[in-house]
Each structure stands twice: as structure tokens, then as C-alpha cells.
A and B are shown apart, each in its own frame.
Chain A
Amino acid sequence: DSGVTQTPKHLITATGQRVTLRCSPRSGDLSVYWYQQSLDQGLQFLIQYYNGEERAKGNILERFSAQQFPDLHSELNLSSLELGDSALYFCASSGGQSNQPQHFGDGTRLSIL
């Protein structure tokens, strides 16, 4: 158990819809990262938050947004969904006092029909 919790595990929706993925980091971790794993693009970094503030941005589409709340959980919002958004979305956390490596949640598998 990595200590990082992601919900839901699976999400099936239709094109044009909007979904929210949720992540609770490990206790003590201040950074949350979102990654997308698709068949053709591999594991790609989307966005990082550190203690509530956006810290780094990767290949995140404008239709996607994220935030980190005061209790440090994070949400990734995906809107105007397209078939190509079907992927496994991972959350990871790090940045606690002990400088531990990033540990990943089990992922949310998003399927767009």
C-alpha cells in the first residue's frame, strides 16, 4: 500500500462530458503530481501542486485543470472529453520531511465511449 488514495478506480463516460478525479496524498506529503498513461504517449506528467500552489506544468490540455485543497487532497478536472482522453490517470505524492521518492496511487482508469 503506497498510502496514496485515488478515487474512483474506474470511470466510464461519454464524449463531451466532464469528470473529476480525486487524490489523497500520503500523510505528510505536500506535493501532488498528476500523470497520464496512454497507449501511444506512455507516462506523461500533467501538473504538480505543492502545498496548495501550482508548482509545475507539463503536457496538460487546456480542457484539463487541477487544484489542491487546504487538506492537501487534489482533484483533476477533465472537461469536454474526447475519445483520446481515455487513459490511466495516476496521482503521486512526495515532498514530506523525509525526502521520500514519489509513491503512486493505484490510478483511475478513464474510458470514454
Chain B
Amino acid sequence: AQKVTQAQTEISVVEKEDVTLDCVYETRDTTYYLFWYKQPPSGELVFLIRRNSFDEQNEISGRYSWNFQKSTSSFNFTITASQVVDSAVYFCALSDLSGNTPLVFGKGTRLSVIA
């Protein structure tokens, strides 16, 4: 069975600090997708990134970066120089590689960025 664990329930940082959100996953599949979604206070789920299991290169998009390590089954998300607008619940998720199956979500990490 697939499982995603986000051990950090809530994190609070001061604006401009860097913050890393942890995600550990379990799957018997040898190929799979990993995702991060953001849920701001308004409630919608916003897609941030999808990474397939073949590609362990780190990815950077502006202030966001992702570190995928297959050896430790982790897909961590770092926000550099955090801003108040980054305050949200962040979800890590897992699916198979068909791109056409349900997502398995972690419980989410609530990030509060204080001005």
C-alpha cells in the first residue's frame, strides 16, 4: 500500500527565514510520481510540482526548491526567504506513473509566516 507521511503538523517562521517541509513516502512501485500542493486560507488546492521517480535532480522554481532522495524515500520542499503569502497548508502526495490514478496525500503541514 502507498503511504505519505508529513511529520510536521505545524511550522511557524518569521518572514524572510528559510523553511523546509518534510515528506516521506512508502510504495512498492518502482516507478511513481510525487507531488506538492498548496492550500491557502481561501481553501483551493494549488498544484506546485510533480516529479517522477526516474528523475532525482533537485528542482528550483523561484524561491521554491525540491529535494528528491530515492534512497531515503523523501521529497522535501524548501521555501527560501519566506513571505506572509506563503502561509498555507502544504500537501505532499504520491501516485503511480500512469498519471491516471488517485493521489495518496499526506496529512499536510500548516505553515505560518509571521511578519
- Taking a contact as CB atoms under 8 Å apart, the answer to whether A33 and B102 are in contact is yes
The reply to whether B107 and A102 contact each other, CB–CB distance below 8 Å, is no
Proximity string of chain A (25-65) to chain B, C-beta cutoff 8 Å, 1 when within and 0 when not:
00000010101000000111100101000011010000000
Nearest B residue (CB) for A105: B44
A107 vs B44: C-alpha distance in the bound complex, in angstroms?
A: 7
Assuming the A-B contacts A101-B33, A101-B50, are A56 and B45 also in contact, with contact meaning beta carbons closer than 8 angstroms in the complex?
A: no
Asked whether A88 is an interface residue with its Cβ less than 8 Å from the other chain, the reply is yes
Q: Is the interface of A mostly helix, strand, loop or mixed?
A: strand
- B105 interface residue (CB < 8 Å to A): yes
A102 to B49, CA, bound (A): 11
B64 near A: Cβ within 8 Å?
no
A29: nearest residue on chain B (CB-CB)? B100
- Is B99 part of the binding interface, using a Cβ–Cβ cutoff of 8 Å? yes
Q: Which residues of B contact A42 (CB under 8 A)?
A: 105-108
Q: Do A104 and B105 contact each other (CB < 8 Å), given the known contacts A31-B100, A95-B99? A: no
Q: Hey, which chain A residues are within 8 Å of B37, CB to CB? A: 104
B27: shortest Cβ distance to chain A, in Å? 15
In the complex, chain B residues 10-67 whose Cβ is within 8 Å of any chain A Cβ: 33, 35, 37, 43-47, 50
Whether B100 and A104, one on each chain, are in contact in the complex, defined by CB atoms closer than 8 angstroms, is: no
What residue in chain A is nearest B93 (Cβ atoms)? A43
Q: A1 CA to B75 CA in the complex, in Å? A: 26
Beta-carbon contact of A56 and B108 below 8 Å: no
Distance from A8 Cβ to chain B, minimum over Cβ atoms (Å): 14
In this assembly, does B104 line the interface, its C-beta being within 8 Å of a C-beta of chain A?
yes
Does B101 touch A at the CB level, under 8 Å? yes
**Closest residue on chain A to residue B105 by CB atoms:** A43
Q: Is B68 an interface residue (CB 8 A)?
A: no
Excluding A42-B106, A43-B105, A105-B44, 11 further A-B contacts by CB distance (< 8 Å) are: A33-B102, A42-B105, A45-B104, A48-B101, A56-B102, A58-B102, A92-B45, A99-B99, A102-B103, A106-B43, A109-B43
Residues of A within 8 A of B50 (CB): 101
